[in-house]
């Protein structure tokens, strides 16, 4: 039974995003990007408590921080008991942010998403289902398709759906400016080759928390 999945935008040999990974352990689910190394991850706990946090590994390296101080943002969700699934998290990667990067040195399977319209942003949506023995098979549509599902020990499933959205050039530049300001305030420098992530709150009309992947500079 699959317990982890790697996903990315673009292709192994061409322009691409960083590699992302979703995985489950028991009844807990996690999401992280290769750009974070072992420092940051999203945790989606069976209690409904979710958090964007530094990892235990990062905390141990600091020497002067308590484990409770590692959380950047925490929120609560209510898991479904009926037929509906609940949206837990989203990862958004604009097509304009793909770059030629060094190919991964391992040969682990990656779900590559390509062939999207110019200017589109690809959104990876993560849902939690009710307990069910059968792997969910959502019906695809013109703008949405099922990418993979991961089974938790309690027979719930974390389901990844891909959809296309549109973010304007001004949206992206505002996001880029915001995350660079955060990097600068933390005493770091965002250089041209760096890739960045902005933690995003749910939109006013409802939805989920998420991460937006960006390059430090425009193409």
| Confidence (pLDDT) at 211 | 96
Q: Which one, of 148, 88, 104, 149, lies nearest residue 10 by Cα?
A: 104
- Which pLDDT tens digits describe the chain residue by residue (219 residues)? 789 999 999 998 889 999 999 999 999 999 999 888 778 899 999 999 999 887 766 566 666 656 555 667 899 998 887 778 899 999 999 999 999 877 667 778 999 999 888 889 999 999 999 999 888 888 878 778 999 999 999 999 999 999 999 999 999 999 999 999 988 988 888 888 889 999 999 988 878 999 999 998 886
Q: 206 in helix, strand or coil?
A: coil
Give residue-wise pLDDT tens across range 111-154. Answer: 999 988 888 999 999 999 999 988 888 887 877 899 999 999 99
Report the alpha-carbon angle 6-8-11, nearest 5.
115
At 110 the pLDDT is 93
75 and 86 in contact (C-beta within 8 Å)?
no
Tell me the whole-structure pTM to 2 decimals.
Answer: 0.91
Predicted pLDDT of residue 83:
77
Instruction: Check if the beta carbon of residue 125 is closer than 8 Å to that of residue 161.
Output: yes
């Amino acid at each position: 039974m699959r317990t982890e999945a790697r996903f990315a935008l673009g292709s192994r040999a061409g322009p691409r995003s960083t590699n992302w990974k979703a995985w489950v352990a028991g009844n807990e689910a996690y999401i992280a990007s290769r750009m974070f190394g072992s420092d940051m991850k999203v945790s989606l706990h069976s209690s409904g408590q979710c958090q964007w946090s530094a990892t235990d590994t990062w905390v141990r390296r600091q020497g002067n921080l308590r484990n409770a101080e590692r959380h950047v943002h925490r929120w609560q969700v209510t898991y479904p008991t009926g037929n509906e699934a609940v949206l837990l998290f989203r990862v958004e990667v604009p097509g304009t942010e793909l770059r030629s990067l060094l190919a991964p040195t391992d040969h682990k399977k990656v779900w590559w998403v390509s062939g999207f319209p110019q200017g589109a942003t690809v959104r990876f949506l993560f849902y939690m289902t009710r307990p069910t023995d059968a792997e969910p098979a959502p019906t695809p549509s013109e703008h949405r398709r099922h990418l993979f599902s991961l089974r938790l020990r309690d027979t719930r499933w974390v389901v990844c759906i891909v959809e296309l959205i549109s973010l304007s050039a001004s949206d992206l530049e505002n996001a880029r400016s915001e995350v660079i300001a955060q990097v600068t305030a933390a005493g770091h420098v965002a250089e041209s080759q760096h890739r960045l992530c902005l933690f995003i709150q749910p939109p006013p009309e409802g939805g989920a928390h998420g991460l937006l992947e960006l390059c430090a500079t425009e193409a």
